Amino acid sequence: MFRLVRKNGLSYYVIDSFEKTGLVKHCFTTREGGVSENEYKALNLRFNCSDKRENVLKNYKIICDAIDVDYKKLVISKQVHEDNICTVTIEDLGNGITKENRFTSADGLMCNETGIPIVTLYADCVPLYFLDVKNKAIAMSHSGWKGTVKNISAKTVQKMIDEFNSKPENILAAIGPSIGECHFEVGDEVAYHFMEMPCGVIKKYGEKYHVNLQKTIENQLLSVGILKQNLTVSGICTFCNSDLLFSHRKTNGKRGNMAAIMELI
């Protein structure tokens, strides 16, 4: 499960199955515990918005201190709703935090070196975590509806197989907080992509279609060989929990970002 940890006014989730391995430091952040104000209140991890850069840096330091990660080493993604997954090495340390973000398109990051904390960002889209416990490699990917249609979840697993010689049965996977079926109403132009998928991922609420992204991704991961017992599905809706979590839809886009952070120890 995704378990909420609260300490000194800061809140973040950890994934029990990942924590138990002792192989990674990781979290999924919430809004609680940062220094940003107004729509960014409080733990905003989004640069390139009207929040002050110094606030965002402070927020990164606060959460990284709590999980014992050096925030100056963070390697931040460049999310453009595509399906590129970039391999990160020691050369990338500080990418997007102490130096310019070198990525042009990176909705997924992966790494098999220790000491490199990777970061992906969210506010309704689905965070995905992967950990190969045997070959010791990690990956994270950002699966919004577009990424889900592009099957970035399965592509991430495939890339771990290709680059790290991973076997799906050795990979722990987790699907984090995102907008739930309860609140993800979509127009016909989005709905039709999901109609050909296994049943249960799209439903009609009255006249409107609602898509269940977490369920769609669960199906995708099981079909590439991730074992059910190795898969954690959070079931947490960002819109339903918008006091704790940033939700793009709930706030009409006036919001900060949460982050998924993970580092191989």
Residue number with CB closer to Zn ion (12 or 239): 239
106 has which bridge partners? 78
- Helices H / strands E in the chain, number of each: 6, 15
Residue 206 CA to residue 222 CA, distance in Å, equals: 30
Residue with CB nearest Zn ion? 237
- The CB-of-184 to Zn ion minimum distance in angstroms stands at 8
Instruction: Output the six-digit token pair for 6.
Output: 């609260």
- The CB-of-118 to Zn ion minimum distance in angstroms stands at 28
Token pair 């606030």: residue? 55
263 has which bridge partners? 25
Residue number with CB closer to Zn ion (160 or 245): 245
Residues whose CB is less than 8 angstroms from the CB of residue 20 and which lie 6 or more positions away in sequence, other chains included: none
Binding footprint of Zn ion on the chain (CB under 5 A): 180, 182-183, 237, 239-240
- The CB-of-55 to Zn ion minimum distance in angstroms stands at 28
Residue number with CB closer to Zn ion (190 or 224): 190
- The CB-of-37 to Zn ion minimum distance in angstroms stands at 26
Q: Peptide bond preceding 66: is omega within 30 degrees of 0, i.e. cis?
A: no
- The CB-of-63 to Zn ion minimum distance in angstroms stands at 24
Dihedral of alpha carbons 185, 189, 195, 201, sign: negative
Residue number with CB closer to Zn ion (13 or 239): 239
